[in-house]
Structure 1
Amino acid sequence: MTYVLGLNAYHADAAACLVKDGDLVAAVEEERFRRVKHWGGFPSESIRYCLKEAGISLSDVDHVAVNCDNAANRWRKLVYVLTSGVSPGYIIKRLRHRGNRADVAGNLQRGLPDEKFTGTVHAVEHHLCHLASAFLVSPYDKAVAVSVDGFGDFSSAAWGLGEGRNIPVDGRVYFPHSLGVFYEAMTQFIGFPHYGDEYKVMGLAPFGEPTYVDRMKEIVRLKDDGSFALDLRYFRHASGEGADYSVKEGIPSGGRLWSDALIELLGPARDPSAPLEDKHRDIARSAQVTYENAFFHLLGALHRRYRTDALVLAGGCAYNSVANGKILERSPFKHVYVQSAGGDAGGSIGAAFATWHKVEGDKAKRHFVMDHAYWGPWATPEEIAVAISRRRADFEAAGCKIMRIADEATLCKRTAAAIAEGRVIGWFQGRLEWGPRALGNRSILGDPRRADMKDILNLKIKRRESFRPFAPSILREAVKDWFETDEDVPFMMQVFKIKADKRKQIPAVTHVDGSGRLQTVTWAGNPRYARLIQIFGEITGVPIVLNTSFNENEPVVCKPEEAIDCFLRTRMDVLVLGDTFIER
């Protein structure tokens, strides 16, 4: 029996996972425990959870695999330092940070002082982790694997042909060129300054026109081999000046990536406090189109090289669900897989599985496929009952009725009826989702038929930008009737067009361009959620519910106590905690 603990540490989206004999046992992001979005640092609480879920101690772990290898691409780093004019202060700062990252055993001892680790630590190169996180848990025995992100271990993209348990890295794009940096710089320029705000640009883009695409061809230049290069005049990161990435008290932040030359090209940047104008919508649309052009340029070259029809994606850019939804249309690939945590947190999965295959050698046969995302903490009925009991006075003050409904069909009928009445539901079930998307276990649900549901949600709970869309969860067997696709999309990682004759029926989940970031729900993957959607479909004729994450400007709720807090401090109408139905 071999246990491998995979970590994404010392960086945003810190996370841990546990693999036992080639099977995933548990996986969770540290932010769920620390209650700080994108929490960075050493994921001690995530490690504790993984060990608890497996019923083992740290001394039972044979290998710890980390999503980082300081020795990777060392000669390219040295040449760059000697020739680029990077400041000595920046280099010293990076070296100090590197020393902390290398001390995995020391951090385990400090983070889990009551535990003891006697196994082996493995440093796994960042993009190999991404490629492994996509390919080694995919349903394909052979596939082109692609990783695209900001930066990691001195490169921003990597690719290769995965076969069996092997993933050779055949090509890379190295620092300072990066599609992720381009998109982040444009995100900052449009006035979204926080780490991880890129999804806002993706949501804003359909409201604009691609009027700046020709100018952006100066910023991102496509190369004959399928790769890309930035015009560094428009960026500050290459000298270290704008690469002031840091994690303070778990909160990741970075310096301004774009240079003043970008103002000369596109005009003034938007102040975050200023209203959005058509110009900003047009820049967002142009940035999305520019990203897609580079992305599909690369995919086309890789398909010509490998002549393989299956594609797996990872890296932060794998969260660009709009581009992902166009892969079958704009590239020759016929099959696509993106696991639920494609970004840096998911690198922990890649580190663990790559290490397991390495140490086990020919004995390690691939057998695990990640076909659902429910790998995190869960609450027993007793824990839920205790959490409710502790807040009973608050529930009474809010005028709530509390009832336990042990029969699942009855529980789902009551919940589906409440959704159909236009009520907002907090839905807390089973194990927490792995990755950034709520997929029916930590979700807020609403009626997709109501044109005003977006406004209701934003007024009552989410308090977020009005242009950001909400997602449809649909029964897998109904996809072909409602969308212009019939693909499996279990992790909400692809956007597809909703059929034109159906859009008016589900306005709350139809984006301005007629698309929806769908989640396909199966009976095997999440039977209770599937039953809820089925019953809602029987009531309304629409086998779809609006699904958004169960949170209010915080990480997705993890524990029953957090779900109760969110319910009571917002204007949510109903809270379903396991088998307990609570309504105002």
Structure 2
Amino acid sequence: MTYILGLNAYHADAAACLVKDGTLIAAVEEERFRRIKHWGGFPGEAIRYCLSEAGIALADVEHVAVNSDNRANRWRKLGYVLTSGVTPSYVLSRLRQRGERADIAGNLKQALPDQEFRGAVHAVEHHLCHLASAFLVSPYDKAAAVSVDGFGDFSSAAWGLGEGGNLRVDGRVYFPHSLGVFYEAMTQFIGFPHYGDEYKVMGLAPYGEPRFVDLMKQIVKTRDDGTFELDLRFFRHASGQGANYQVKDGIPSGGQLWSDELASLLGPARDPAAPLEDRHRDIARSAQVTYENAFFNLLGALHRRYGADAVVLAGGCAYNSVANGKVLERTPFKKLYVQSAGGDAGGAIGAAFATWHKLGGAAARRHFVMDHAYWGPSATPDQIAAAIAQRRADFDTAGCTIERIADEATLCKRTAEAISLGKVIGWFQGRLEWGPRALGNRSILGDPRRADMKDILNLKIKRRESFRPFAPSVLREAVPEWFETDDDVPFMMQVFRIREAKRKEIPAVTHVDGTGRLQTVTWAGNPRYARLIQSFRDITGVPMVLNTSFNENEPVVCRPEEAIDCFLRTKMDVLVMGDTLIRR
């Protein structure tokens, strides 16, 4: 019996997973425990959870695999330092950070002082981890594997072919050229300054026109072999000025990536406090189109090279669900898989599975497929009851009724009725989702038929930008009737067009361009959530509910206590935790 602990450490979205004999046992991001979005550093709490879920101690773990290898691409790094003119102080600061990060055993001892680690540590190159996180847990025996992100181990993209348990890396795009940096720079330029704000550009883009696309051809240049390069006049990161990414007190941040040349090309940048104008919407749309053109140019070249029917995606850019939804339309590929944590957190899984296959050789046959995302902590009925009892006075003050409904069909029917009446539901069930999306276990639910549902959610809970869409969770068998696709999309990582005749029936989950970022729900993957959606369909004829993450400007809730806190401090109408239904 072999246990491998996979880590994304010292970086945003720190995370841990545990793999036992080639099967995933547990996976969770550190932010869920620390309650700071994108928490970076060493994932000590996530490690504790994974060990607890498996019922083992750290001493039982034979291998720890980390999704970064300081030795990777070392000659390219050295050559760049010698020719690029970066300052010695910048190089020294980076080397100092790397030295601190290399001591995995020391960090384990500090994070888990009551436990002992006796195993081996494996540093696995960043993009190999991304590729492994997508292919080695995918349902395909053969697929082109593609990783695109900001940077990791001195490259920003990598690709190769996966066959059986073998995965090779055939090509890369190296620092300083990066589609992820391009998109992040445009995100900053439009006035969204925080780490991870790129999804706001994706949500804003459909409101604009692509009138800056021709100008942006100066910024991102594509080649016939699928690769791309940036015109570095428009960026600051290549000199080290804008590459001062850091994690302080667990909070990741980076410097301004764009240069004054970008403002000369596109006009002045938006102040984050200033209102959004049509020009900003047009820049967002143009940035999305520019990204897609480069991305599909790469995928087209890889299909010509490999001729595979399937493609798997990872890296931070794999969260661009708008582009993902067009892969089968704009490339010759016929099948697509995107893991639920495609970004750096997912590198923990990639590190673990790459190490499993490397250690096991031909004997480590692939037998695990990640077809759901429920790999995090759960709460027992007793834990839920204790959390409710602790806040009983607060529930009484809020005028809440609390009842336990042991029959699942009745619980789902009652909840579906509340949704159909326009109530906002906090839905807390089973194991926490792995990755950034709430997928029916830590979700806030609403009625997709109500045109005012987005406003209701933003007024009662979310308080977020009006242009950002909410997503539908739909019964798998109903997908082709409502969407212009018939795909499995269990992780909400693809956007598809909603059938034109159906859009007026579900305005709350229909984006301005007629699309929706759907999640397909199956009885095998999440039976209670499927029963709830079926109950809603029985009442309304609509086989889906509006689904957004159970949080309020914080990481998704993990424990019952956090769900109760969120319920009581917002204007949520109903909280369903396990079999207990709480109504204001």
TM-score range, shorter chain: over 0.9
Work out whether 1:474 is the aligned partner of 2:500. Answer: no
Partner Cα separation in structure 1 for residue 237 and residue 93 of structure 2: 15
Q: How many residues align?
A: 584
1:67-106 aligned at under 5 Å gives the runs 67-106=67-106
Q: Which residue of 2 aligns with 1:308?
A: 308
Q: Which residue of 1 aligns with 2:276?
A: 276
Partner Cα separation in structure 1 for residue 12 and residue 492 of structure 2: 21
Q: Which residue of 2 aligns with 1:514?
A: 514
Q: Which residue of 2 aligns with 1:131?
A: 131
Q: Which residue of 1 aligns with 2:219?
A: 219
Deviations 1:12-56 (A, max 9, x none): 000000000000000000000000000000000000000000000
Partner Cα separation in structure 1 for residue 115 and residue 282 of structure 2: 54
Question: Alpha-carbon deviation of 1:359?
Answer: 0.9
Q: Which residue of 2 aligns with 1:391?
A: 391
Q: Which residue of 1 aligns with 2:575?
A: 575
Partner Cα separation in structure 1 for residue 322 and residue 224 of structure 2: 25
1:232-247 aligned at under 5 Å gives the runs 232-247=232-247
In structure 2, what residue type is equivalent to 1:295? Answer: F
In structure 2, what residue type is equivalent to 1:363? Answer: A
- Secondary structure (helix, strand or coil) at the match of 2:311 reads strand
Q: Which residue of 2 aligns with 1:250?
A: 250
Q: Which residue of 1 aligns with 2:450?
A: 450
Deviations 1:512-544 (A, max 9, x none): 000000000000000000000001001000001
- Secondary structure (helix, strand or coil) at the match of 1:118 reads coil
Deviations 1:92-140 (A, max 9, x none): 1100110011110000000110010000000000000000000000000
Q: Which residue of 2 aligns with 1:343?
A: 343
Deviations 1:64-115 (A, max 9, x none): 0000000000000000000000011110110011001111000000011001
Question: Alpha-carbon deviation of 1:363?
Answer: 1.4
- Secondary structure (helix, strand or coil) at the match of 1:582 reads strand
- TM-score norm. by structure 1 comes to 1.00
Q: Which residue of 2 aligns with 1:548?
A: 548
Deviations 1:321-342 (A, max 9, x none): 0000000110000000001000
Question: Alpha-carbon deviation of 1:360?
Answer: 1.3
Partner Cα separation in structure 2 for residue 48 and residue 75 of structure 1: 37
Deviations 1:476-517 (A, max 9, x none): 000000000000000000000000000000000000000000
Partner Cα separation in structure 2 for residue 120 and residue 468 of structure 1: 45
- TM-score norm. by structure 2 comes to 1.00
Partner Cα separation in structure 2 for residue 257 and residue 248 of structure 1: 19
Q: Which residue of 2 aligns with 1:110?
A: 110
In structure 2, what residue type is equivalent to 1:299? Answer: L
1:418-567 aligned at under 5 Å gives the runs 418-567=418-567
Partner Cα separation in structure 1 for residue 159 and residue 294 of structure 2: 15
Unaligned 5+ runs, structure 2: none
Deviations 1:359-384 (A, max 9, x none): 11121110000000000000000000
Q: Which residue of 2 aligns with 1:46?
A: 46
Deviations 1:257-290 (A, max 9, x none): 0000000000000000000000000000000000
Question: Alpha-carbon deviation of 1:238?
Answer: 0.2
Partner Cα separation in structure 1 for residue 92 and residue 139 of structure 2: 44
Partner Cα separation in structure 1 for residue 372 and residue 224 of structure 2: 38
Partner Cα separation in structure 2 for residue 207 and residue 103 of structure 1: 48
- Secondary structure (helix, strand or coil) at the match of 1:169 reads strand
Partner Cα separation in structure 2 for residue 266 and residue 433 of structure 1: 40
Work out whether 1:26 is the aligned partner of 2:13. Answer: no
Q: Which residue of 1 aligns with 2:177?
A: 177
Deviations 1:536-555 (A, max 9, x none): 00100000100000000000
Partner Cα separation in structure 2 for residue 477 and residue 434 of structure 1: 24
Unaligned 5+ runs, structure 1: none
Question: Alpha-carbon deviation of 1:445?
Answer: 0.0
- Secondary structure (helix, strand or coil) at the match of 1:552 reads coil
- Secondary structure (helix, strand or coil) at the match of 2:169 reads coil
Partner Cα separation in structure 1 for residue 324 and residue 181 of structure 2: 19
* Larger displacement relative to structure 2 (55-64 or 357-366): 357-366
Question: Alpha-carbon deviation of 1:166?
Answer: 1.1
Question: Alpha-carbon deviation of 1:413?
Answer: 0.3
Deviations 1:154-182 (A, max 9, x none): 00000001011111100000000000000
Q: Which residue of 1 aligns with 2:412?
A: 412
Identity %: 83
Q: Which residue of 2 aligns with 1:186?
A: 186
- Secondary structure (helix, strand or coil) at the match of 2:500 reads coil
